[in-house]
Amino acid sequence: MAKVIYPGTFDPVTNGHIDIVSRAVALFDEVIVTVARNPGKTSLFTVEERVEMLKESLKDYKRVVVDSFDGLVVNHAKQVGAVGIIRGLRAISDFEYEFQMALMNRKLAGEITTILLMPHARYTYLNSTIVRNLAQFQGDVSEFVPKIVVEKLKIKFGKNKE
Ligand code: ADP
């Protein structure tokens, strides 16, 4: 049984992330979507909120599990028995960073393979930062993120909240 992990910040999950998960599910038996607990990075949503939004958005995928991890991605991959790490590649601009990380992770754990998947072209310009910025100024994010995320963003940036 081939299991992979899909690590990221997911602050918040977007339809681009979901597109990558759906492609990974078509290739592997189990996909563990895992939120990085990175204390050095300030985020809009807590790890628990991000996990909750991922779980709700991915509830129809029976072979997807959502969790979180501390420390090195490769250690988490080994711990859960994953053979690979899924990452998304939107454009050439993602490539340099992803390539560097893939090679470093291979150096750390040669048995874990990084798999880069390209989303549908409609998601190539989409990222969590753009979604957060749009939502902050009451822009409509409904075509970019799952329903649960639209609701959570409304609560975060509610009009009665200054
Ligand atoms: P990280 O901080 O680890 O980059 P992100 O949540 O921003 O966390 O992204 C996680 C992974 O998903 C990365 O590999 C990123 O390239 C990919 N990704 C992010 N947005 C999209 C998108 N719109 N389409 C496809 N892949 C994406």
pLDDT confidence band for 159 (50 / 70 / 90): low
120 is catalytic: no
Alpha carbon of residue 66 to chain centroid: 10
- DSSP for 49-82 reads HHHHHHHHHTTT-TTEEEEEE-S-HHHHHHHHT-
17 is catalytic: yes
Other Cβ atoms less than 10 A from the Cβ of 115: the count is: 16
Strand order in the sheet with 113-117: 64-69, 30-36, 3-8, 84-88, 113-117
Q: What is the average pLDDT across 61-69?
A: 97
In this structure, the chain runs to a length of 162
SS3 115: strand
In the chain, the domains with their CATH numbers are 3-156 (3.40.50.620)
Instruction: DSSP letter for 116, please.
Output: E
- Residues lining ligand 1, CB < 6 A? 8-10, 14, 16-17, 20, 87-88, 90, 94, 119, 123, 126-128
- What is this structure's pTM? 0.95
Tell me which H or E stretch contains 117: strand 113-117
- Of 41, 62, 159, 161, the active-site residue reads 41
Does 111 score more than 80 pLDDT?
Answer: yes
Say how many Å lie between the CA of residue 110 and the centre of ligand 1: 23
Q: What is the pLDDT of residue 115?
A: 98
To the nearest 10°, report the CA torsion of 55, 93, 27, 115.
-100
Q: What is the pLDDT of residue 160?
A: 52
Say how many Å lie between the CA of residue 81 and the centre of ligand 1: 22
Q: In a mutational test of the pocket of ligand 1, which residue from 127, 132, 145 has the highest number of ligand atoms less than 8 Å from its CB?
A: 127
Summarize pLDDT for 28-61 with one digit per residue, the tens: 999 999 999 987 889 999 999 999 999 999 999 9
The whole-angstrom separation of Cα 75 and Cα 53 is: 24
Sign of CA dihedral 143, 144, 148, 151: negative
